[in-house]
Structure formats: structure tokens, C-alpha cells
């Protein structure tokens, strides 16, 4: 019934993917710029490292998504927030944004993989969002990012007023699908990234690019992923409005 009226999946949708392939690229950014990105949110910055991510859900619910994730703190707890996120299906954009508070925008995804590595790209029509090449090399050390926590995820779900400049509601929601995820393989590597216009939905960077001071490395995970009703569906942890 929800999908008939709204064109989106219900907010309590659960899903699973066996053999989910997730790529995480760890980049050291400009701390002042990252502080600016979390400055309008009730979060603190955990580190000056951010994560470029892409995941191929085609074997399950069908979409591919990509993201910029910031390691943050919320009331003394460490986790991650999706600062920018992109999907290649209308239904997953709508449900993730309206129901769950993720800042999703529709974009085109490219995921090319062979035995030596990956090439991924995200485009907003003819505008490049980001592109990356990864060479898998298990000799790479993850010490530069292994201390980070990007789970649980914390998002601000904000519903604008129908006839005003403010919000009808604003709340912090949280989920942790990593609790039910079983990692089968993990491969490290080196990466090259090119970031174009990542703020395609809100222009929060005002025409500037998201800065990369250094690319620390990459991680390809293959896992049995479960977004369950217990841990994969967001719960409200604080009401702001």
C-alpha cells in the first residue's frame, strides 16, 4: 500500500544479499572542510579521514549505491554518517531519503572489476561525482584507518514544513546492519581517486571540490549482508524538533 501512494518502499523494509561486494576507499581530507560539513549536524568529527564507498546490491534488492561517509561522534559514541549518497534506482532514493534520513540522490553507477582491481564511477547526468581506480594488493597495511568506526550509522531525518522555511520534524536516527553481516572475504589495495561535484543535492560546498590530502588505501569486502528489522531498520535516538 505504501508504494502505491508514495512510489517508495515501506520504511520497515528489510533485505539481504549473499556475496555483497562493498568497496571502501579511505581518504585523508581537509579538517576545516570536514568540520564545515558536520557543522550543521549534531555530530562531532571523529577524524580527518573520510570514506568513499560503493556497494553492489544487484544480487539482492537490485540497486548499486555510492557514498561519502564521515566518521563522527554523537553524544560520546563513535559511528559514521552518510554525508553524501547516491543510488541508481528511484525507489531506493525515495525510501532511503524520506523514510530513513539518508541524503540520497539519483545517479549513474559504473562498477568494473577483474582479478587485479576495480574501476568505479558515479555520474550526475553529464557531471562527474567521483571516480576511482583500485589495485588490489594484500601487502597493503590498514593501520592508517583501522582505528575508525563507521558503525553504527547516525543520520538526521528532517521533514520540511509544508508552508514555511523550517521543519515539521527533525530527529537523529540510527541503525547498525554490521551486527548481522558476515564477512567472507576482505582484500586491501591502493587507490587513485578523482572527485568532481559530490554535493549534487544540497551544494553545501558552494562549488568547491571535496578535498583529498592523501589516499590512504582501499578495502574490498565480500559478505553475506542482512538488513534486519532488529538492526537494519533505523530507530529514533533523539528528537531535535
pLDDT per residue as tens digits for the range 212-238 = 999 999 999 999 999 999 999 999 999
Is CATH 2.40.400.10 the classification given to domain 17-239? Answer: yes
pTM of the complete model:
0.96
Return the closest-CA partner of residue 99 out of 14, 200, 225.
14
What are the grid coordinates assigned to 173, written together? 536516527
Q: How many CA atoms lie within 13 A of 240 on its CB side?
A: 16
DSSP state of 147: T
Q: What angle do CA 15, 147, 21 make, to 5 degrees?
A: 30
Distance of CA 138 to the CA centre of its chain: 24
Host H or E run for residue 238: strand 235-239
With contact defined as beta carbons under 8 Å apart, do 21 and 230 qualify? no
pLDDT per residue as tens digits for the range 164-194 = 999 999 999 999 999 999 999 999 999 999 9
Host H or E run for residue 105: strand 104-106
Q: Where are the domains of the chain?
A: 17-239
pLDDT per residue as tens digits for the range 74-111 = 999 999 999 999 999 998 999 999 999 999 999 999 99
Host H or E run for residue 217: strand 214-227
Please state, in angstroms and as integers, the Cα–Cα distance from residue 42 to each residue in 20, 72, 74, 156, 228, following that order: 31, 10, 7, 8, 26
Amino acid at each position: 500500500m505504501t508504494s502505491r501512494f508514495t512510489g517508495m518502499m515501506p520504511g520497515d523494509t528489510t533485505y539481504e544479499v549473499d556475496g555483497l561486494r562493498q568497496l571502501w576507499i579511505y581518504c585523508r581530507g581537509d579538517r576545516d572542510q570536514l568540520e564545515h560539513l558536520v557543522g550543521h549536524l549534531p555530530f562531532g568529527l571523529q577524524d580527518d579521514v573520510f570514506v568513499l564507498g560503493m556497494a553492489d546490491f544487484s544480487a539482492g534488492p537490485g540497486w548499486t549505491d555510492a557514498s561519502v561517509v564521515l566518521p563522527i561522534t554523537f553524544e560520546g559514541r563513535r559511528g559514521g554518517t552518510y554525508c553524501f549518497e547516491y543510488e541508481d534506482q528511484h525507489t531506493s532514493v525515495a525510501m532511503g531519503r524520506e523514510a530513513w534520513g539518508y541524503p540520497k540522490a539519483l545517479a549513474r553507477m559504473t562498477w568494473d572489476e577483474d582479478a587485479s582491481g576495480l574501476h568505479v564511477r558515479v555520474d550526475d547526468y553529464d557531471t562527474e561525482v567521483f571516480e576511482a581506480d583500485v589495485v588490489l594488493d594484500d601487502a597493503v597495511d590498514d593501520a592508517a584507518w583501522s582505528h575508525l568506526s563507521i558503525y553504527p550509522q547516525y543520520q538526521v531525518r528532517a521533514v520540511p514544513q509544508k508552508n514555511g522555511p523550517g521543519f515539521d520534524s527533525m530527529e537523529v536516527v540510527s541503525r547498525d546492519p554490521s551486527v548481522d553481516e558476515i564477512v567472507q572475504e576482505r582484500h586491501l589495495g591502493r587507490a587513485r581517486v578523482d572527485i568532481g561535484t559530490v554535493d549534487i543535492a544540497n551544494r553545501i560546498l558552494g562549488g568547491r571540490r571535496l578535498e583529498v590530502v592523501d589516499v590512504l588505501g582501499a578495502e574490498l569486502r565480500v559478505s553475506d549482508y542482512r538488513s534486519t528489522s532488529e538492526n537494519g531498520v533505523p530507530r529514533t535516538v533523539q528528537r531535535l524538533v
